[in-house]
C-alpha cells in the first residue's frame, strides 16, 4: 500500500467522525484496519476527527447534537478497530483506567457521555457507571477494575455533596492514594474541586484526556487540582 492510500483512508476516518456518519466510520475502519493497522487508524483517524469536533464545539462553531453524532460515529469505528487489536496492542493502547459516572441524585448525562467519548478516543479504558451513582458504587467499581482515576460529573448543586462524600469514603477506607479523583459538570468550580481535595477538574470534555494523562504521568507531585490539564501547583 502506498503512503497516498494510507493518508486517504485516515482522512476518510477523520471525516466520518466529523460528519457524524456511523456507517461511513464503520466502513472506513474496516478498510483502515487492513491498510494502516488498527492502532494508527484509531490515533491518526478517529481521534483526530474527535479532536477537531472538540475544538469546533469549544469555539461555538458547532452545537451539541453534532458532537453527539460525532461521538456515536467514533464509537462505531472504535468497535471495529478494537476487535482487530492484538492483546499486546490493546495493552499498549491503554493509557489508563477510568471509572466515571454522574453523581447520586443527578440524572444529567449529556456532558458525562461526551467526556466518556473523549477519553475512549484518547485511548483510556473507560467504565461508565451511568447516572445517579452512589459514592459506594464509585469506590467498589474503582477497586474492582483497579481504576487509576474516578471521574464524577455533577450538574445539580444539590448533588455536589456526593463528590465530597466519595472522596471522604476513599479516605475512610484508607485507599485515597489508590485513585485520582477528577470532577466536572456545570455546577463544579475549581474552588469546589480544591475544597473537596479532588486531584483534577476539567471545564470541558475535550480537557478530560489531557487532564487524565497529566495526572497519571506526573503523579502525586501535584499539590493542587489540575485545571484543563495544566497544573496550578
- Positions in the binding site for ligand B12 (CB under 6 A): 64, 105-112, 114-115, 151, 153, 155-158, 182-187, 202, 204-205, 208, 211
Nearer to ligand B12, 21 or 207 (CB): 207
Q: How far is the CB of 137 from ligand B12 (least distance, A)?
A: 16
Residue closer to ligand B12 by CB (options 27, 66) is: 66
Neighbouring C-beta atoms of residue 207, cutoff 10 Å: 23
Task: Write down the least CB distance from residue 97 to ligand B12, Å.
Answer: 14
Task: Give least dist CB 74 to ligand B12, A.
Answer: 15
Cα separation, 79 vs 76, in Å, equals 5
CA neighbours closer than 13 Å in the CB half-sphere of residue 87:
0
CA distance 116 to 182: 13
Nearest residue to ligand B12 on Cβ basis: 111
Comparison of 38 and 200: residue with beta carbon closer to ligand B12: 200
User: How do the residues of the chain divide into helix, strand and coil, expressed in percent and rounded to 5?
Assistant: 60, 10, 25
Least Cα distance to 202 among 175, 180, 179 occurs for 180
Whichever of 90 and 186 has its CB closer to ligand B12, that residue is: 186
The nearest distance, CB 79 to ligand B12, in angstroms, is 22
Instruction: Supply the minimum distance, in Å, between the C-beta of residue 101 and ligand B12.
Output: 9
Shortest distance (Å) from residue 25 CB to ligand B12: 21
Beta strands in the chain (DSSP E): 97-102, 125-128, 149-153, 180-184, 200-201, 226-227, 230-231
Q: Which CB, 23 or 157, lies closer to ligand B12?
A: 157
Distance CA 215, CA 18 (A): 28
Q: Is 149 helix (H, G, I), strand (E, B) or coil?
A: strand
Would you say how long the chain is, in residues? Answer: 233
Closer residue to ligand B12 in complex, CB, 24/211: 211
Amino acid at each position: 500500500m502506498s503512503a497516498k492510500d494510507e493518508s486517504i483512508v485516515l482522512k476518510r476516518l477523520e471525516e466520518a467522525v466529523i460528519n457524524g456518519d456511523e456507517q461511513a466510520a464503520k466502513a472506513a475502519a474496516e478498510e483502515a484496519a487492513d491498510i494502516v493497522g488498527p492502532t494508527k487508524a484509531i490515533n491518526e483517524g478517529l481521534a483526530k476527527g474527535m479532536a477537531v469536533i472538540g475544538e469546533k464545539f469549544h469555539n461555538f462553531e458547532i452545537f451539541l447534537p453534532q458532537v453527539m453524532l460525532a461521538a456515536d460515529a467514533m464509537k462505531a469505528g472504535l468497535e471495529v478497530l478494537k476487535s482487530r487489536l492484538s492483546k499486546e496492542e490493546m495493552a499498549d493502547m491503554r493509557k489508563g483506567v477510568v471509572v466515571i459516572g454522574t453523581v447520586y441524585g443527578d440524572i444529567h448525562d449529556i456532558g458525562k457521555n461526551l467526556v466518556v467519548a473523549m477519553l475512549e478516543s484518547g485511548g483510556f479504558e473507560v467504565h461508565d457507571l451511568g447516572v445517579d451513582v452512589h459514592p459506594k458504587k464509585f469506590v467498589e467499581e474503582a477497586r474492582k477494575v483497579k481504576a487509576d482515576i474516578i471521574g464524577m460529573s455533577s450538574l445539580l448543586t444539590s448533588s455536589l455533596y456526593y463528590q465530597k462524600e466519595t472522596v471522604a469514603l476513599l479516605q475512610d477506607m484508607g485507599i485515597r492514594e489508590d485513585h485520582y479523583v477528577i470532577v466536572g459538570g456545570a455546577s463544579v468550580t475549581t474552588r469546589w474541586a480544591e475544597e473537596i481535595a479532588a486531584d483534577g477538574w476539567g471545564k470541558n470534555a475535550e480537557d478530560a484526556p489531557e487532564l487524565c494523562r497529566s495526572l497519571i504521568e506526573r503523579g502525586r507531585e501535584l499539590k493542587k487540582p489540575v485545571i484543563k490539564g495544566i497544573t496550578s501547583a
